[in-house]
Structure 1
Amino acid sequence: MKINYLGKSRLSVVIVLSAASVAFAQKNRDSINSKDIEQVVLTGVADIAKDRKTPVAVSTIKETVIVEKLGNQEFPEVLNTTPSVYATKAGGGFGDSRINVRGFDQRNTAVMINGVPVNDMENGAVYWSNWAGLSDVTSAMQVQRGLGSSKLAIASVGGTINVLTRSADKKREGNVMFGLGNSGYNKLLFSYNTGKGNTGWSSSFLMSRTAGSMYADGTEFEGYNYYWALGYQKGKHDFQFTITGAPQWHNQRSFSPTINEYLKYGTDGEPNRKYNLNWGTLRGEEYSFTRNYYHKPVMSLNWDYKISDATKLSTVVYASFGRGGGTGTLGRVNNKTENGFRKADGSIDFDAIYAANAAIATPNSNSANSVFVRRSSINSHNWIGAISSLNHKLNDNLNFTVGVDGRYYKGIHYRVMSDFLGAKYIIDNTDINNPNRKITDAYDASPNWNPFGGKTDEVKIAYNNDGIVNWLGGFGQLEYSNGDLSAFAQGSISNQGFQRVDYFLYAPANQKTEMVNKLGYNVKAGLNYNLNANHNVFFNTGYYERQPFFGAVFLDNTNRVNPNLENEKVFSAELGYGFRSSVFNANVNLYNTSWGDIFKRVSYRPTGSTVTYYANVLGVKEIHRGVEVDFNVKPTDWITVNGMFSAGDWYYDKDVKATFINDETNTVVAEGNLLIKDLKVGDAAQLTWALGADVRATENLKFDATYRYADNLYSGFDPASNLNKNTPAVKLPSFGLLDLGLTLSTKTNVGKSLSFRLNVNNVLDETYISDMRTNIAADANAANNWNGINKNNQVYFGFGRTWNASIAYKF
């Protein structure tokens, strides 16, 4: 049937019962509400949505669910059974996963830890390998879809993921866990909480190691996670210091093979889903051209000061000093790159590359006498910030909050040599101030354990620049609550200053730009009304003017400032309904989000010309609208059924004009149009549903099963490629996945327990495409297609059947 809402009918909805293992915050049995969260985690400046009060669409995942069902999956995947969420392993390397919320990628979804934003301040990215250990220390994870309840001016176009970590004053308890899984996966964890002593001091400690390989070939990894918290509470003051980090390295599958390549190295006409273009062996050991290594510790000091019964001050000061990067290829040898050194199984013969490099006596930059080596792109940073908010209760019904948010970020970007692979040296000519340098130094692609950063004075090649972002914001919120009615109005304003320093492309006098300042703001409001003890309705709306990312300020990786810099405009509105009872609970949400003035940089080269011209395209606009349903049924104490369904309609709203300028003469050289009107937004399934059940067979034995389905998934190609052509997005085949789990637990003594957990994911070994970056239409000759998809498309297949098991002892 068709449904109409918010002024336009574009969405066909099929009524389907669907589910999640744990999908939303509620007050009833086997659930978690805001009060529960506050009892087990450090909240500080975190804005936690409250059930039947905060007017936002929210899902909350408990610590027990994360511990049980995550296993050896990627951290964002635990959210895959919540409405409008699509998370994949992408290339499949350790921590290389990605997540979309309501069709917005993670650059436009705010990720926060205890209320502190962690999205990269230059490009909004979130690299989950930097946070791979978060699952070990998470007490709860709350996903607020849409604008959310955070008071900060953050990138919450699609939603906000707030990870709430264990606090120092959790109850006294220790835990030892050992886990195993497919492909040599193994994990060892130890944690201990002292509990709060009579003097007000408390502490919490965790250390873990995870290693092995992922499902794909050539994806060995090793990662550690440490967490330490120290708390002190006395009188009106509560202090909590935490530091957590996850130094890791992992071999990647960074480049998606074509379907033809998966089939070439498969058997019996089936694709080899494990195939990886980037790896091989060197001296009998696994070796990869694409290896990521990073250590991004975060330390914070929270201070909660209860000034009076009506007034509270919450402040957090935090810092992060990230060091590391990712490797790739540089040059060629005997006019060949890795494809010239493929073995019969498709892996790379690194021993042959080593021998070919070693035979070059005097490497130089020309193709007849060059070498093929591994370089590393460094993306380090220094980041400090502070958030402080003052909450005052004006009367029994009104609360007012005002606060400030300040941040300083310096991104440190350059390349170094990682491995000469038998070559004696390379010649680098990219630094105009020091041309024709002979490079003989190489650096190990392993993480630096120093939590306060480390040296960045390596010998640099290719590029060397810094990106500086200053942020100063203020926010205020007025909340009203009177029995069954609650409402809020909130506003924030922020100034971002952008500065770029380039040490290679410019002489010293011109290396640093002026600070480019851009003002942004948001306003939002919402209302919730509890009709009675069972029913509630809510509405929220908001408008953002969000500053563009760093890459839109300085064009083409140079110091040239974009003359057409515009804020992105975001408008969102949402209507929700909730039902609560002792047996059945459900939520229904309708949403509409308009995202305009998205920056696109489009290139054009006239026929027969060697000059490329660019257009800064303004006015690109996306519409994201949809419906979400989630429910929870518990007819008896021994069975719980959970469900979710979401259907979205995400598309580009209009065609956009592109004007190409000759930068030297400032004249128009060409005009064109991005023909993207009604083009589907890709990279995330627009229809998802799931159905899950937890069955407690005995007091000590529990089974669970979850089936989830994804459809209306389109390729994630860049719409800027639709210059003067109208190419629709390729729709990928739908898929459904079944996961099973078993928990066996026993109490060995008072306060002590032993538990065993087994997970099997993709039990039916479904073969499916999870990600596709190209957009080649199906061929008229069916033999050139696989399941209706052109075999020349570059894709990632989802993992086949995987398993993991763990045993834990709590004392």
Structure 2
Amino acid sequence: MEILFNVSKGKRKPWLFSLSAVILSLAAFSQEKVKDTTQVNQLDEVLVSAVRVTTKTPVSFSNLDKKEITGRNLGQDIPILMNYLPSVVTTSDAGNGVGYTGIRVRGSDATRVNITINGIPYNDAESHGTFWVNMPDFASSVESLQLQRGVGTSTNGAGAFGASLNLLTDSFSKESNGEISNSFGSFNTRKHTVKFSSGLLNNHFELAGRLSNIDSQGYIDRAASDLKSYFLQGTYVGKTTLIKALVFGGTEKTYQSWNGIDGETMKEHRTFNSAGIYTDEFGNIRFYENETDNYQQDHYQLHWSERVSENWSTNVALHYTQGKGYYENYKEDADFADYGFTPVVIENTTINTTDLVRQKWLDNDFYGTTFSANYKKNKLHLILGGGWNKYEGDHFGKVIWVQFVSDSELGDRYYEDYAVKTDGNLFTKANYQITAKLSLYADLQYRTVNYKANGVQADWVNDTFHFFNPKAGLNYEFNDKNTIYVSYAKAQREPNRTDYESGNAKPEKLDDFEVGWRYVSEKAKINTNVYYMAYKDQLILTGNLDDVGNPIRSNSETSYRLGLEVDATLALTSKVIIRPNVTLSQNKNVDLNVDGNAVGTKDIAYSPEVIAGNIVVYKPGKAWQFSWLTKFVGKQFMNNIELPSAQLPDYWVNDFNVTYEIQPKSVFKSIVFTGLINNVLDKQYVSNGYMWDVYPYYYPQAGINFLAGVTLKI
């Protein structure tokens, strides 16, 4: 087992060296054979039970399991696979769902969606962002995911201001198995995945893993992606014990495609990409061939779940993430002073600018622990949990080539910044059955954050925040089919690094009120939810980007989101199922001031009033499944003053998905053929954009395109 933890590069933490020894010593606590795998599978859920909810909890949520993910898992990122969930809007820089992708929930961008993997925070501690490109094909190692909309319940990491998403990685397998998946498609997109499991050896130990490679040229010019990832898991299973040691991660090299495109150019050349453009000495327009983003991220997790008694179960986890990488770009007419260069004198002419190639680096470590204890007896379900995490990040820049050589040396850094962030939280959650029909939910969280950084303002930033976030609700079951709930949740969160750079350092606050109705019958499931999210000093997207592509935000003193969400699963016949959803909302900044000027009450940027989706599933037999998927996103503004030129038009997109499974009598357990036609009706649309002053820039998405694959299971 020690081979799992000797692949990390860079700095290491002492406790990582002996994880294998810990597993073996803990295994000694339980040597009985596994007789009741149901209990152990429940222990697997303990990894995420502290941050997940059930229908007993007064929270709006959606679940997506492995079977639903697998049908469309042909190389596109996790946000794209979640596109048809309620209140979700997704986008892709490269235009085809591979590479850099983004997600918004209820109009809130990815920096406001709390992400956990097995209960461990995944959001970048400084930017709050989530970069799925760093973990390509992670969907192939996901057992299930749950998206909680709104504040949701208390979780680890940055506060949820639009939603929280938690993922549970693959469970253990009792029997050995293997899987080979290959898919191909438009824009020379290819995905190759190999998975294996040893099954339970001696009824106690399993070793499982995955290797993946994804390549794509992208829809946008030169928006190529070269993505590699791995997942390795060692599991010990006892009668009341489950221990998991995981190491997973990936490397990505993507040609930059985050510049977007102006409207006039888009009319003539939708796929034009300005990244890397420069003029050579002969006046010819050229593109720098290595205008790329390069990053490697490795994750280490150790989980110990224990069923202490019939009523108590516990989970404790240690984690460490090491990330390192850079983006490289060609810079024309760069000022010597910005890079610490001394002006060059050639034949009595002083040269103060030069063309150059630079790299901006990030080298960081993130480590800590999470823990929880679950108690269930009679009318009470109690969860005690929390976590402590620390982030250490280096930011620095290098110049690797200059046209006019000054006095720099190879390896010199033209800036060097450092940041440390410590985040700790404790929470208590309780569900109490007051009567046979009425239950009470209460959730109290205390969170403290300390952030130290230079390079973001004239002086060092050293801020400490203390947040108390109470949540409560009632759940009433009228009968076996109908349940209503009402809830209140408070959330508070600190500014991110870019907010400090922009001078906006106020923390933001949110009061979230929700009322819902759930209906469940043999042929129908219907969820209806009304929400009112009242913000104080919300950090809203201005629509502008800084010089490295980060969205610029500013505080809005008073703002709100008011909406209605409806989603359903309806069995029309034994062969036809439909899954419609719709969100109708109003999202407003109240009495907004921009640059000292009152502009009144306006729409919050990137917040469409209508988001709707539908999936029609037809199963003519056991082997075949056909799905027609529809998504509608209403018009939205890319800034907060409703500038006509800042409006993104609405769009309606349709996909078609088909799977066919053969179960041979020998060699293979299963052969699955999968096909996906995206944007069947060839809609020319844009899903995202930004404003450069008053000028809009867009991210066009691909027209009709396809992916097809085959999976062999043994």
The verdict on a shared fold, with TM-score over 0.5 as the criterion, is yes
Q: Aligned partner of 1:740: which letter?
A: F
Q: Does 1:494 align with 2:447?
A: yes
Q: Does 1:796 align with 2:713?
A: no
How many Å separate the matches in 2 of 1:280 and 1:701?
48
Q: Aligned partner of 2:652: which letter?
A: G
Match of 1:396 among 371, 374, 378: 378
Q: Displacement, 1:278?
A: 1.6
Q: Does 1:157 align with 2:161?
A: yes
Q: Label 1:388 to 1:529 Cα distance change in 2 as closer, same or farther (>3 A).
A: same
Q: Label 1:382 to 1:619 Cα distance change in 2 as closer, same or farther (>3 A).
A: same
For residue 371 of structure 1, give the secondary structure of its aligned residue in structure 2.
strand
Q: Aligned partner of 1:241: which letter?
A: A
Counterparts of 1:284-295 in structure 2 under 5 Å?
287-288=288-289, 290-295=291-296
Q: Does 1:459 align with 2:412?
A: yes
How many Å separate the matches in 2 of 1:743 and 1:212?
23
Q: Displacement, 1:517?
A: 1.6
Residues 41 and 166 of structure 1 are in contact (CA less than 8 Å); yes or no, is this contact kept in structure 2?
Answer: no
Q: Aligned partner of 2:711: which letter?
A: A
Q: Displacement, 1:465?
A: 0.3
Q: Does 1:273 align with 2:263?
A: no
Q: Which residue of 2 aligns with 1:374?
A: 357
Q: Label 1:804 to 1:55 Cα distance change in 2 as closer, same or farther (>3 A).
A: same
For residue 737 of structure 1, give the secondary structure of its aligned residue in structure 2.
strand
Q: Displacement, 1:46?
A: 4.3
Q: Label 1:234 to 1:566 Cα distance change in 2 as closer, same or farther (>3 A).
A: same
Residue by residue over 1:83-104, the C-alpha shift from the partner in whole angstroms, topping out at 9 and shown as x without a partner, is 1111111354843111111111
For residue 69 of structure 1, give the secondary structure of its aligned residue in structure 2.
coil
Q: Label 1:296 to 1:183 Cα distance change in 2 as closer, same or farther (>3 A).
A: same
Q: Displacement, 1:204?
A: 1.2
Q: Which residue of 2 aligns with 1:611?
A: none
Q: Which residue of 2 aligns with 1:666?
A: none
How many Å separate the matches in 2 of 1:465 and 1:766?
45
Q: TM-score, normalised by structure 1?
A: 0.75
Residues 486 and 529 of structure 1 are in contact (CA less than 8 Å); yes or no, is this contact kept in structure 2?
Answer: yes
How many Å separate the matches in 1 of 2:193 and 2:39?
25
Match of 1:79 among 77, 82, 90: 82
Q: Displacement, 1:288?
A: 4.1
How many Å separate the matches in 2 of 1:138 and 1:762?
26
Q: Aligned partner of 1:638: which letter?
A: K
Q: Which residue of 2 aligns with 1:654?
A: 591
> Per chain length, whose mean CA-contact separation is higher, i.e. which structure has more relative contact order (CA < 8 Å, sep 6+)?
1
Q: Aligned partner of 1:68: which letter?
A: G
How many Å separate the matches in 2 of 1:713 and 1:600?
14
Q: Label 1:333 to 1:200 Cα distance change in 2 as closer, same or farther (>3 A).
A: closer
Residue by residue over 1:306-355, the C-alpha shift from the partner in whole angstroms, topping out at 9 and shown as x without a partner, is 222222221111110001122233342899xxxxxxxxxxxxxxxxxxxx
Q: Aligned partner of 1:543: which letter?
A: K
Q: Which residue of 1 aligns with 2:660?
A: 744
Residues 63 and 144 of structure 2 are in contact (CA less than 8 Å); yes or no, is this contact kept in structure 1?
Answer: yes
Consecutive unaligned residues in structure 1, runs of 5 or more:
1-34, 267-271, 336-359, 428-436, 442-457, 557-561, 603-615, 659-671, 778-791
Q: Aligned partner of 1:764: which letter?
A: L
How many Å separate the matches in 2 of 1:213 and 1:114?
32
For residue 103 of structure 1, give the secondary structure of its aligned residue in structure 2.
coil
How many Å separate the matches in 1 of 2:580 and 2:662?
29
Q: Displacement, 1:392?
A: 3.0
Residues 49 and 56 of structure 1 are in contact (CA less than 8 Å); yes or no, is this contact kept in structure 2?
Answer: no
Counterparts of 1:355-504 in structure 2 under 5 Å?
368=351, 370-393=353-376, 395-418=377-400, 420=401, 423=402, 426-427=405-406, 437-439=407-409, 441=410, 458-461=411-414, 463-481=415-433, 483-501=436-454
Match of 2:575 among 638, 661, 682: 638
Residues 252 and 288 of structure 1 are in contact (CA less than 8 Å); yes or no, is this contact kept in structure 2?
Answer: no
Q: Does 1:765 align with 2:702?
A: no
Q: Which residue of 1 aligns with 2:303?
A: 302
How many Å separate the matches in 1 of 2:457 and 2:471?
43
How many Å separate the matches in 1 of 2:175 and 2:566?
36
Q: Displacement, 1:154?
A: 3.6
Residue by residue over 1:500-554, the C-alpha shift from the partner in whole angstroms, topping out at 9 and shown as x without a partner, is 245x999xxxx9x4843221121101222221111111111111232332444x5
Q: Which residue of 1 aligns with 2:474?
A: 527
Q: Label 1:617 to 1:133 Cα distance change in 2 as closer, same or farther (>3 A).
A: closer
Q: Displacement, 1:379?
A: 2.1
Q: Which residue of 1 aligns with 2:262?
A: 258
Q: Which residue of 1 aligns with 2:463?
A: 516
Residues 432 and 441 of structure 2 are in contact (CA less than 8 Å); yes or no, is this contact kept in structure 1?
Answer: yes
How many Å separate the matches in 2 of 1:548 and 1:113?
23
Residues 583 and 610 of structure 2 are in contact (CA less than 8 Å); yes or no, is this contact kept in structure 1?
Answer: yes
Q: Which residue of 1 aligns with 2:319?
A: 318
Q: Label 1:189 to 1:42 Cα distance change in 2 as closer, same or farther (>3 A).
A: farther
Q: Displacement, 1:492?
A: 1.0
How many Å separate the matches in 2 of 1:363 and 1:42?
70
Q: Label 1:230 to 1:250 Cα distance change in 2 as closer, same or farther (>3 A).
A: same
Q: Which residue of 2 aligns with 1:709?
A: 632
Residues 98 and 216 of structure 2 are in contact (CA less than 8 Å); yes or no, is this contact kept in structure 1?
Answer: no
How many Å separate the matches in 2 of 1:521 and 1:363?
63
How many Å separate the matches in 1 of 2:323 and 2:158?
21
Q: Displacement, 1:256?
A: 1.5
Q: Displacement, 1:396?
A: 1.2
Q: Aligned partner of 2:100: which letter?
A: D
Q: Which has the higher strand share?
A: 2
Residue by residue over 1:7-66, the C-alpha shift from the partner in whole angstroms, topping out at 9 and shown as x without a partner, is xxxxxxxxxxxxxxxxxxxxxxxxxxxx99966966414446454312211111121222
How many Å separate the matches in 1 of 2:308 and 2:320?
26
Residues 362 and 369 of structure 1 are in contact (CA less than 8 Å); yes or no, is this contact kept in structure 2?
Answer: no
Q: Does 1:626 align with 2:563?
A: yes
How many Å separate the matches in 1 of 2:422 and 2:416?
20
Percent sequence identity over aligned pairs = 20
Q: Which residue of 2 aligns with 1:537?
A: 484
Counterparts of 1:721-740 in structure 2 under 5 Å?
727=643, 730-740=646-656
How many Å separate the matches in 1 of 2:105 and 2:194?
33
Q: Displacement, 1:361?
A: 10
Q: TM-score, normalised by structure 2?
A: 0.84
Q: Aligned partner of 2:451: which letter?
A: F
How many Å separate the matches in 2 of 1:701 and 1:90?
33
Q: Label 1:505 to 1:632 Cα distance change in 2 as closer, same or farther (>3 A).
A: closer
Match of 2:190 among 164, 177, 186: 186
Residues 63 and 138 of structure 1 are in contact (CA less than 8 Å); yes or no, is this contact kept in structure 2?
Answer: yes
How many Å separate the matches in 2 of 1:415 and 1:333?
14
Residues 68 and 757 of structure 1 are in contact (CA less than 8 Å); yes or no, is this contact kept in structure 2?
Answer: yes
How many Å separate the matches in 2 of 1:244 and 1:742?
30
Q: Aligned partner of 1:526: which letter?
A: G
Q: Does 1:756 align with 2:673?
A: yes
Residues 72 and 181 of structure 1 are in contact (CA less than 8 Å); yes or no, is this contact kept in structure 2?
Answer: no
Q: Displacement, 1:775?
A: 8.0
Q: Which residue of 1 aligns with 2:708?
A: 805
Q: Which residue of 2 aligns with 1:332?
A: 333
For residue 71 of structure 2, give the secondary structure of its aligned residue in structure 1.
helix
How many Å separate the matches in 1 of 2:352 and 2:150?
55
Q: Which residue of 2 aligns with 1:445?
A: none
Match of 1:125 among 106, 126, 129: 129
How many Å separate the matches in 2 of 1:363 and 1:258?
39
Q: Does 1:142 align with 2:146?
A: yes
Match of 2:517 among 572, 577, 581: 577
Q: Label 1:412 to 1:810 Cα distance change in 2 as closer, same or farther (>3 A).
A: same
How many Å separate the matches in 2 of 1:100 and 1:691?
18
Structure 1, 800-809 or 290-299: larger mean CA deviation? 290-299
Residues 332 and 354 of structure 2 are in contact (CA less than 8 Å); yes or no, is this contact kept in structure 1?
Answer: yes
For residue 167 of structure 1, give the secondary structure of its aligned residue in structure 2.
coil
Q: Aligned partner of 2:378: which letter?
A: D
How many Å separate the matches in 2 of 1:545 and 1:402?
20
